[in-house]
Structure formats: structure tokens, C-alpha cells
Amino acid sequence: MNLQKLGEEAYRLGDLAHDYAKSIYNLSEKCLMAHSIRSVQQFLEDKGKGKHWISIMMASSERYLGRRALAFIQPNQTEIFVDSHVELDHQRRGIAHELGHLLFVKFNNSVPPSPMRIDPLMEDVCKTFEKDLCKRHHVFYCNQENLKRLLFQTLDDYPTPTD
């Protein structure tokens, strides 16, 4: 490959890298509770429950009885359906609530949640988990020192993307 073609290819791939970064960044704003989901997966594995895949799917409220979220828990996989019509805050809290159900199914042999069967005690327990986890996130992000830890200080000299 001659130098001109190599330069053109490098430029094309550089543009593609910017496009990928922009797309991933835009999606990351919608990655509801991604760190918590990954942490639950790691916690299950660390505690001897094996690998467990957790996926989030957006759904309409009519299909899921107006709930913020609903989990379908299987032995090695959980699908959490989230109501796309509720506010982002409620979507995140709904995911946290369903993660609570997953933990109690895995560690306490509770019955998986079902649209047809609601256990008031488990709902209260998972609501406690939801509020506690979300409040911890809230407190973390309200602390300026924690926000500094999330920044990429080594990129201060890199130009800010314009699109």
C-alpha cells in the first residue's frame, strides 16, 4: 500500500473511530443501571452462583400491567423489561427493584416474580433494596470528589468532539 492510500485509510478509520465513539456515548446515556447490573453479575459469580446474563429490554406499559419493570428470571439469565413510557428515574428504580428480586431468588430461594403472582413481603423487601441502592448512587454522584474520580484527567488536552 502506498503512502497516500495508507494516509487515506488512516483518515477513514479515524473518522470511523469518532463515529463509533459518538454512537457508544449516545447509547451510554441510555444504559440504565449498567454498573449495578454488572456488579450483580460479578456478585453472583463471586458468591458461587455462576455466570448469569442480565439483559434490559424496553417495552410498552400496556403489555406489562403498568409496572416500571418486570424480570423474567431463569437459572442463568434474567430479562428485565422496562416500561419505556415512564421517566428515566423510574426506569432506573424499576431495574434496581428487579435486581433485588434476582438476588433473593438466587440466595434465598424466593419464587421469581410473576405478573400473575405478587408476594407483598418480597415486593417490600425489593423496594427496600431498590431505594437503598438508588440512594447510594444518588449520594455518590452528589459528591464532587466522586465525580472527579469519574473524569478522564489525562484527556484535558484532547480536543472536545464538536458533534
Residue 85 has pLDDT above 90, yes or no: no
Cell numbers placing 64: 406489562
Cα–Cα distance measured from residue 117 to residue 163, given in angstroms and rounded to the nearest whole number? 48
pLDDT of residue 126: 93
When pLDDT is cut at 50, 70 and 90, the band that residue 113 belongs to is confident
Closest CA to 58 of 28, 29, 79: 79
When pLDDT is cut at 50, 70 and 90, the band that residue 101 belongs to is very high
Cα–Cα distance measured from residue 59 to residue 81, given in angstroms and rounded to the nearest whole number? 6
Q: Indicate the range of 1-10, 40-49, 82-91, 120-129 predicted with least confidence.
A: 1-10
Residue 127 has pLDDT above 90, yes or no: yes
Cα–Cα distance measured from residue 53 to residue 57, given in angstroms and rounded to the nearest whole number? 13
For the chain, what are the domain ranges?
3-29, 34-148
pTM: 0.81
The per-residue pLDDT for range 21-44, each reduced to its tens digit, is 777 776 665 667 888 999 999 999
When pLDDT is cut at 50, 70 and 90, the band that residue 67 belongs to is confident
What is the CATH T-level fold of the domain 34-148, as seen in this structure? Arc Repressor Mutant, subunit A (1.10.10)
Decide which of 62 and 114 is more confident. Answer: 114
